[in-house]
Structure 1
Amino acid sequence: MDKIKLRLEPYTMTLPSLLLTLVLGVYPILWAIRYMFYEYHGFGQEQFVGLANFERLLHDEMFWSSVGNTFVYAAGKLLLTIPLSLVLAVMLNGALRGRHIFRAIFFLPTIISTAVMSVVFYVVFNSYNGILNQLLIKYGVVSESVEWLGPRYAMLTMIMVAAWGAIGNYMLLFLAGLQNIPRDIYESAMIDGANRYQQFTRITLPLLGPVMQMIIMLAITVSLKGYESILLITEGGPFGKTNVMYLYVYQFFFPISTSGGGQIMQDFGYGSATGFAAALIVGLITGVYFYASRRMSKIY
């Protein structure tokens, strides 16, 4: 009897987590897969339409425009976030006075609610009475308000907001990698006459390779799936300039009125199809990167 209890104990301990995973993870995925082949608007009867949702998807200009916006958003965020987080990690890994306080300050945006952060940045970047415009006009940098959330600068603004929220997280991961590099290597390099730049390029970057690979893959997936701050600040506007893939999918389940873009009608079936396509695109891109990075690590 005791042996049976010992064998069942691991299963009973993991049962609550397994049930939650099935109910909140597996069941919604199966539900979405089923509805990809149906037309259902949340009321009335559902209608089986076969592959009609995917045929509609192929000719959906708004979806493919959101895919392009997603690539721009993700690329901009990566190019801004990864170098800055690496530089901050290197600076805060040294003998800098008060470095623990600076680490906490830079990591703080990571734990702030996205909703709170988005409201604050909306007040900062508001085109008419935003804090940033008031400061720029006050000190003579610009003569009139800049439309930070207008068609010209909206995507750039969203990239900066996303980078602000992500730098602290990646900085912490880089710090963990830096602290695993033995100090003896740097001391030997200094004895051989290597300067700081040579130490960084010949020691730090190569030994950070595995950590860098993991961070970039994580950053790619998060950037391609991100939409929360865009939803709360611009709602995909103006005129769809910041409408990214997962925000477009979101609108078919929870319709919102976008500035200049109208309102998308609720459609669970088509929303499931677009969600599947978006997940497939993210999976393909991360898979290609993972394969390429593995090949490069074997070469070097």
Structure 2
Amino acid sequence: MKPKRKKGGIESGGGVAAALMMFPAVFLLAVTSIYPFLWMFRYICSDYNGFVSYFTGPQNFIRMLNDHLFWQSVVHTFEYAFLKILFVMPLALVLAVLLGQKILGSGFFRAVYFMPTIISSAVYSLIFGFIYAVFNGSLNAILSTIGLIDAPVDWLGDPDIVMFSIVMVAVWGGLGNYMILLMSGMSSISADIYESSKLDGANGVQTFFRITLPMLSPILKVVLMLAITTAFKDYQSIMVLTNGGPNNRSQVMFSYIYQVVFGTTSVVPQIGYGTMISVVSALIIGIVTAIYLFVSRKLDDVV
């Protein structure tokens, strides 16, 4: 008769195996995320240029409170995020509904709209820089040819329209990603529900607002939260197209942090002060996200 194997030994052996399999991921998380985050807090109260650190107490915090450019960048970040979400979410939803249909060419257009998400933002921003060029840009040439403008428009140099120009680049770059996420949520809706609505005489608009949109609301809330956090952290396109100009009109939080940390706003890098405003920026994004989650839960309770 075979001896019985102890259950506790099997469980402990399984626990060790699970821990060994999780160790590489946990180690990478600690090295690449947790340690740099904790390391950052060492210099909040210091004047650190990458070589020498001097303790300055609350001076970085006081400087942050009186830093007009930083708070201006916060306002611009909210403006940029609002405009981007205002355009990208409705467009992504409409495209998801249209291209989710089994029609000829839908697969091709899905690939076309998704293509920008696999291209570096620096690359397509550089391309848009040529498109937006004042005298040799294709956009001004097209608008002039069809008679919509009489003189070339400085899309990236005019403070009144520079934010709109940058937002259009961001919408073009992120539209396909949100479209695919919404299409994946729509694929979970049973086709029988749509067949029943057709038998009841519902048209396309009624089907969208009374079936698709309510049943898509869980994934829609997740995608909207992703869009909010991404919009508040965007800065790559701005660095390539305007570097925060003209006259800091397109400066957002993380582009300003980049300039402070890497010394583009002064002679030497200001890592200590950059750390302080980075923490404040992260807190702002966290507060906005928490407010969104609170409001979305309240709306769920009302509905």
- The match for 1:54 is 61
- The match for 1:73 is 80
SS of the residue 2:297 aligns to:
helix
Per-residue CA deviations over 1:150-194 (Å, capped at 9, x if unaligned) read 122111011000000111001001111111111222222222221
- The match for 2:90 is 83
AA aligned opposite 1:152: D
- The match for 1:292 is 295
How far apart in 1 are the matches of 2:219 and 2:14?
Answer: 39
Contact 2:131 2:139 survives alignment (8 Å): yes
- TM-score, with length taken from structure 2: 0.92
Contact 1:252 1:264 survives alignment (8 Å): no
Q: Does residue 183 of structure 2 align to residue 180 of structure 1?
A: no
How far apart in 1 are the matches of 2:82 and 2:212?
Answer: 24
Per-residue CA deviations over 1:68-102 (Å, capped at 9, x if unaligned) read 00001000000000000000000011122111111
Q: Aligned ranges for residues 186-265 of structure 1 at < 5 Å?
A: 186-256=194-264, 263=266, 265=268
Contact 1:69 1:243 survives alignment (8 Å): yes
AA aligned opposite 1:136: L
Contact 1:251 1:264 survives alignment (8 Å): no
- The match for 2:26 is 18
Deviation at 1:26, TM superposition (A): 1.1
Per-residue CA deviations over 1:185-217 (Å, capped at 9, x if unaligned) read 222222222111111111111111101110110
Classify 1:203/1:11 alpha carbon distance in 2 versus 1 (closer, same or farther; 3 Å).
Answer: same
- The match for 1:114 is 121
Q: Relative to structure 2, which stretch is displaced further, 7-16 or 158-167?
A: 7-16
Classify 1:263/1:163 alpha carbon distance in 2 versus 1 (closer, same or farther; 3 Å).
Answer: farther
How far apart in 2 are the matches of 1:192 and 1:118?
Answer: 48
SS of the residue 1:266 aligns to:
coil
Deviation at 1:6, TM superposition (A): 4.3
**Which of 43, 46, 55 is the matching residue for 1:35?**
43
Classify 1:264/1:104 alpha carbon distance in 2 versus 1 (closer, same or farther; 3 Å).
Answer: farther
Deviation at 1:136, TM superposition (A): 2.0
Structure 2, unpaired ranges of 5+: 1-8
SS of the residue 1:142 aligns to:
coil
- The match for 2:179 is 171
What RMSD in Å do the two structures reach over aligned CA positions? 1.7
How many pairs align?
A: 294
SS of the residue 1:145 aligns to:
coil
SS of the residue 1:208 aligns to:
helix
SS of the residue 1:240 aligns to:
coil
Contact 2:263 2:270 survives alignment (8 Å): no
Percent identity over the alignment is 42
Contact 1:235 1:243 survives alignment (8 Å): yes
Q: Does residue 270 of structure 2 align to residue 267 of structure 1?
A: yes
- The match for 2:105 is 98
Contact 1:80 1:163 survives alignment (8 Å): yes
Structure 1, unpaired ranges of 5+: 257-261
- TM-score, with length taken from structure 1: 0.93
Contact 1:253 1:266 survives alignment (8 Å): yes
Q: Relative to structure 2, which stretch is displaced further, 190-199 or 228-237?
A: 190-199
Q: Does residue 276 of structure 2 align to residue 276 of structure 1?
A: no
How far apart in 2 are the matches of 1:9 and 1:101?
Answer: 45
**Which of 143, 157, 164 is the matching residue for 2:165?**
157
Contact 1:36 1:270 survives alignment (8 Å): yes
Deviation at 1:137, TM superposition (A): 2.2
Please say which structure displays the higher CA radius of gyration: 2
